[in-house]
Amino acid sequence: MTVSRRGSVAVRAVLLLVAAAIVAIGVGARAWQRRAAARAREQVARRIGSDSAAATLQRAIAAMQSRDTVFAAALSKRVLPAGSATLVQARIQRAVTSVPFASIHDRNVDALALVSTEGVGTPLPGTAFGVSPEGRLMTSRHVLQAAAGARVRVRYAGTNVWLPARVLRVSDTADLALIQVDARGRYPAIVGVSHNGMLARVGAPVASIGFAAGGDARPTMTAGMVSALGADLLQIQAYAGESSSGSPVFDARGDVVGVVAGSATAGERVLFAVPWGRVTEFLKGP
């Protein structure tokens, strides 16, 4: 009887150990399943968030594409990242989606003009923009390759008429120049120039309009964000599009905060501009 009782106790102990092991395995399996589910939800959330950002940018770009086919063509060369945007691309996406592209374009595009020098080698059209309704325009000094008093001609966006003009002033310290149309009249002008650059800090969204292709092309828009800022330089990390020297750079409110002076290699999509401080200083005159 004693041996039998001891055997029964041993069997019960084994059964209890087996039961405990089964319970532990079950608890561990449920915990693993919960962790796996949490990881899956996190991955889905990240994917949705990234895809949502890309979708938001796509919608913003699509709105502008419907207004400007040339800008649409430029944007089509740039493919949005789907779920794997780099940090820089993500920052640019967040910046440019907040810019009212259509409004900035519509309120300022008529003030854009092609400018071509006369009698200075091979004339290469550049970009200028009206700063007064009396026919005064601003551009980059190196676009003209000429001194004050030299003859040039301009053609406003949406027109087919080249207007005789002259160089009023060129800056000695910045890549800027002023042009005056000869014929008296009322001419298109930009909405305004920023006097404090509050909306052009590093990381802020900006947009530029210019005649990237020159000739008979329509103005195109470049979207991006300010990536560096100094007293003499406004650096822009562009997301799409192209721009030419002399093109105005607009902040999110539609005020000019710079004038494009040049660009890095096409692959880097980096634009350099003369900042608003130099622009306003030059406009005030000597």
pLDDT tens per residue across all 286 residues of the chain: 454 555 565 656 656 665 666 655 655 656 655 665 555 444 434 433 334 434 444 444 454 444 444 434 444 444 444 444 456 556 555 656 667 888 999 999 999 999 988 665 555 678 999 999 999 999 999 888 766 678 899 999 999 999 999 999 999 999 999 999 999 999 999 999 998 888 888 989 899 999 876 556 688 888 888 999 988 999 998 765 555 889 999 999 999 999 999 877 655 578 899 999 999 999 987 6
Residue 9 confidence (pLDDT): 57
DSSP letter at 193? Answer: B
Residue 250 confidence (pLDDT): 95
Q: Which two tokens stand for residue 245?
A: 């020297």
Backbone angles phi, psi at 198, to 5 degrees: -60, -30
Separation CA 196–CA 43 (nearest Å)? 43
Task: With CA atoms as reference, report the closest residue to 210 among 178, 253, 256.
Answer: 256
Residue 270 confidence (pLDDT): 85
Q: What is the CA radius of gyration of the chain?
A: 31
- What angle, rounded to 10 degrees, do the helices at 2-65 and 101-108 form? 10
Question: In whole angstroms, what separates CA 208 from the centre of its chain?
Answer: 8
Domains of the chain plus CATH, in order, are: 108-181 (2.40.10.10), 191-284 (2.40.10.10)
Task: Give pairs for 167-175: CB < 8 Å, separation 24+.
Answer: 168/136, 169/282, 169/285, 169/286, 170/141, 170/144, 170/146, 171/141, 171/278, 171/282, 173/278, 174/141, 174/232, 174/274, 174/278, 174/282, 175/140, 175/141, 175/142, 175/245, 175/259, 175/261, 175/274
In DSSP terms, 222 is beta-bridged to 208
Q: Residue 140 in contact with residue 261, Cβ under 8 Å? A: yes
Q: What is the dihedral of CA 172, 122, 212, 197, to 10 degrees?
A: 10
DSSP letter at 246? Answer: T
Query: Vertex 194, ends 203 and 138: CA angle to 5°?
Result: 110
Q: Which two tokens stand for residue 153?
A: 């001609």
SS (H, E, C) 101-127: HHHHHHHHHHHEEEEEECCCCCCCCEE
In DSSP terms, 262 is beta-bridged to 272
In DSSP terms, 177 is beta-bridged to 139, 170
